[in-house]
Structure 1
Amino acid sequence: MSQQPGVLIHKDYFNDHLVEIRDSGDYRTLYYPPGTVQSRISLSNPHRLVLRYTQYMLLALLIQPKPENILIIGIGSGSFVRFFQHHFPRCHIDAVDYSKHIINMARGYFQLPENSKIIVHCDDGYRFLKNYSDTPYDIILIDAFDDQGMAPTIYSDQFFRLCADNLSQNGVVSCNIWSNDK
């Protein structure tokens, strides 16, 4: 039984771990694995980034203040997709997540926007950059985790070389590199 705050609105299992979506006041939170906040949105202002680390990742906008092409690896609840779609509506966004399960939860419970400027890809971030991307990105945001920490396919020199190869001339990578032990 979970001890997370708020009203349970969805419960499921993913990779043998409990996944919960809970509402508490103005916030909807994705917990995965139990006890770990993966993502959170404000229900009254879903375009606002709630978690502090997501706000820090936007320091990339100091280098690229008018992005035209953005790659987001790790969709979670779609916080970055909503933010950029709202503040940069002409921007093309490729959003990549290896889990159809997570993508469907983002669509069903977190208002993940999709339109002609936003393309959601169900794929591994490394494989997407290596095999499918031919766009020079102004910003690449990496926030990809599994139940063990940072997704192993992107925790490598080869992955970051691929990122560099897929950046525009003044492009920037912003990465959440939190880890328990690395």
Structure 2
Amino acid sequence: MSRLDPLEDVPPEQILEEIRDDFGTLRVTEAGAYRFLYFGEQTEQSCTFTPDPAWLEYDYTRAMLLALFWQPRPQKVTLLGLGGGSLANCVLTHFAPGQVTAVELRPAVVDAGFRWLGLSQDSRLNIKIGCAEQYINESPASCDLLFVDLYLEGGISRLQLQAEFFARCHQALRPGGLLVINQWQLGESGQPYAGRMLQQLFGDAYLQVPVEEGNILLLVPESGQLFLEKLALRAWADDLEPQLGYSLRPYIEALRRASDGPAFG
């Protein structure tokens, strides 16, 4: 399904609900066929296209899907950070996982997802309320695909700046598994926010995908290196495009080895 209208053409946002919990304020707004989840007043966390809740609006979430080239039918998928649930919906709808476990700190986020944002009721979706750090510490060798997307109202979570946390995430992969990390770009460097630490931790075995929104996605294998086969990736993306409604080719063209990225200043 393709979008009804370009996002910039939708009407002004209207507030559907404002929720206060122990971590601050959540707002759910609506503009035409879109609904948005905000942390606080300004931090847009998620966007849902209501006719198709499996639609991914943001470039960075679309880029995350490249991991499914190497893990086309994962049995165990874990998401650290649920947001509005679009990524979980997309994986469940288009990639036939055995189970998707989403770890979310805030119960109110889950409630908003079900009430307003089309969060899937699929029996394969298992939602855990709690701390991502505690969950991952207790879950070695537990998943084939691990998405890390931890952001708060004030910005990037402290966990996404800690080597020990990412080492535990890597240990949570089963043989042949893949870790996908959403990082902000550090200024205009072309490198992820925690790039030096990540390079020290993982060497140059991982791939990077910079996107226009300013994020950089990292794809880290459980072992060895990911082969960068762009011809095969393009064919895979072309096969997926009719069901997704958009092309993953722009992210494939931006895909690079970490060692091929800009040098650290």
TM-score, normalization: structure 1?
0.87
Shift of 1:134: 5.1
Aligned to 2:47: 40
Aligned to 2:126: 119
Q: Which letter maps to 1:42?
A: F
Task: Tell me the distance in 1 between the aligned counterparts of 2:30 and 2:151.
Answer: 22
Aligned to 1:53: 60
The alpha-carbon distance between structure 1 residues 128 and 166, as it changes in their structure 2 partners (threshold 3 A), is: same
Q: Which letter maps to 1:166?
A: A
Task: Tell me the distance in 2 between the aligned counterparts of 1:16 and 1:137.
Answer: 28
Q: Deviations over 1:163-182 (max 9, x none)?
A: 11111222111111127875
Moved over 6 A (4+): none
Shift of 1:91: 2.2
Q: Which letter maps to 1:170?
A: G
Q: Which letter maps to 1:71?
A: T
Rg comparison, structure with higher value: 2
Task: Tell me the distance in 1 between the aligned counterparts of 2:23 and 2:140.
Answer: 35
Return the match for 2:159 from 125, 148, 153: 153
Q: Deviations over 1:129-167 (max 9, x none)?
A: 112x25531111111111222222343111111111111
Shift of 1:93: 0.7
Task: Tell me the distance in 1 between the aligned counterparts of 2:112 and 2:87.
Answer: 15
Q: Which letter maps to 1:169?
A: P
Task: Tell me the distance in 2 between the aligned counterparts of 1:180 and 1:147.
Answer: 18
Give yes or no for the alignment of 1:99 onto 2:106. Answer: yes
The alpha-carbon distance between structure 1 residues 155 and 14, as it changes in their structure 2 partners (threshold 3 A), is: farther
Return the match for 1:68 from 69, 72, 75: 75
- Unpaired stretches in structure 1, ≥5 consecutive residues: none
Contact 1:19-1:31 at 8 Å conserved across structures:
yes
Q: Which letter maps to 2:47?
A: R
Q: Which letter maps to 2:179?
A: V
Task: Tell me the distance in 1 between the aligned counterparts of 2:82 and 2:59.
Answer: 17
TM-score, normalization: structure 2?
0.62
Aligned to 1:10: 17
Task: Tell me the distance in 2 between the aligned counterparts of 1:170 and 1:71.
Answer: 15
Shift of 1:96: 0.2
Aligned to 2:172: 166
Matched length: 178
Task: Tell me the distance in 2 between the aligned counterparts of 1:123 and 1:17.
Answer: 16
Task: Tell me the distance in 2 between the aligned counterparts of 1:118 and 1:135.
Answer: 19
The alpha-carbon distance between structure 1 residues 118 and 16, as it changes in their structure 2 partners (threshold 3 A), is: closer
Q: Which has the higher contact order (CA 8 A, sep 6+)?
A: 1
Q: Which letter maps to 2:83?
A: G
State the percentage of identical aligned residues. Answer: 24
Q: Which letter maps to 2:130?
A: D
Contact 1:19-1:32 at 8 Å conserved across structures:
yes
Contact 1:17-1:34 at 8 Å conserved across structures:
no
